[in-house]
């Protein structure tokens, strides 16, 4: 499933010290209705362990991701005594497709938040992917982050080629 974060993820830790991250994604239907509007669906997600740490650290509101999941159902009784049934997407794999650029991006802020030595020097670079009159701004991830998160990331060229092969 491909979707965008609707808000920043909410990290947490269980009583047994297991990290988790809760977030919600919005997904558009692949077809347009007769009245020319696409419907958006919202899904609650949860991730555990190192995957949760990655999500909490690197993903924010507006970021686009691909996830593989299983459905996780949870029934509980609320304060009013009503049984609440909740279905979450239990994230088994997540791949960052692109990050929404912060309009107030300032490389000086990045440097003050990171280390100042050359090893951690960050470059701001923006690429635009244009396909079928759709453009998306993409922030290139620093090399240090890329190396740490390689299994969750897709190259833009790969995404473009997959969409092209699928006829989108």
pLDDT class of 30 with cuts at 50, 70, 90? confident
Compare 9 and 36 and report the one with higher pLDDT: 9
Instruction: Confirm if 69 and 45 have CB atoms less than 8 A apart.
Output: yes
| Domain 2-165 annotated CATH 2.40.50.140 | yes
Q: What is the mean pLDDT of residues 27-56?
A: 87
Q: What is the mean pLDDT of residues 26-43?
A: 81
pLDDT class of 4 with cuts at 50, 70, 90? very high
pLDDT at 101: 60
Q: What is the mean pLDDT of residues 122-132?
A: 31
What is the tens place of the pLDDT at every residue in 59-99?
999 999 999 999 989 898 999 999 999 899 999 999 999 87
Token digits of residue 82: 């009503």
pLDDT at 106: 38
Alpha-carbon span 144 to 106, nearest angstrom: 19
Residue 127 has pLDDT above 60, yes or no: no
pLDDT at 34: 72
Alpha-carbon span 142 to 120, nearest angstrom: 9
Q: Percentage of the chain surpassing pLDDT 90? A: 46
Compare 30 and 56 and report the one with higher pLDDT: 56
Q: List the beta strands (DSSP E) in the chain.
A: 2-5, 10-13, 19-28, 40-48, 64-77, 83-98, 126-131, 134-139
pLDDT at 153: 45
Residue 156 has pLDDT above 60, yes or no: no
């Amino acid at each position: 499933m491909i979707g965008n974060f609707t808000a920043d993820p909410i990290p947490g830790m269980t009583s047994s010290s297991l990290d988790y991250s809760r977030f919600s994604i919005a997904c558009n239907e692949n077809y347009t209705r007769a009245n020319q509007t696409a419907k958006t669906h919202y899904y609650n997600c949860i991730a555990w362990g190192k995957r949760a740490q990655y999500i909490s650290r690197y993903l924010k509101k507006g970021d686009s991701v691909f996830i593989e999941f299983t459905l996780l159902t949870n029934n509980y009784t609320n304060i009013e005594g009503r049984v609440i049934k909740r279905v979450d997407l239990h994230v088994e794999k997540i791949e960052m497709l692109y990050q929404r650029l912060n309009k107030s991006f300032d490389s000086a802020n990045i440097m003050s938040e990171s280390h100042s030595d050359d090893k951690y020097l960050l470059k701001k670079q923006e690429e635009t992917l244009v396909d079928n009159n759709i453009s998306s701004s993409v922030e290139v991830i620093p090399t240090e982050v890329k190396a740490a998160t390689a299994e969750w990331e897709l190259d833009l060229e790969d995404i473009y080629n997959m969409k092209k092969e699928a006829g989108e």
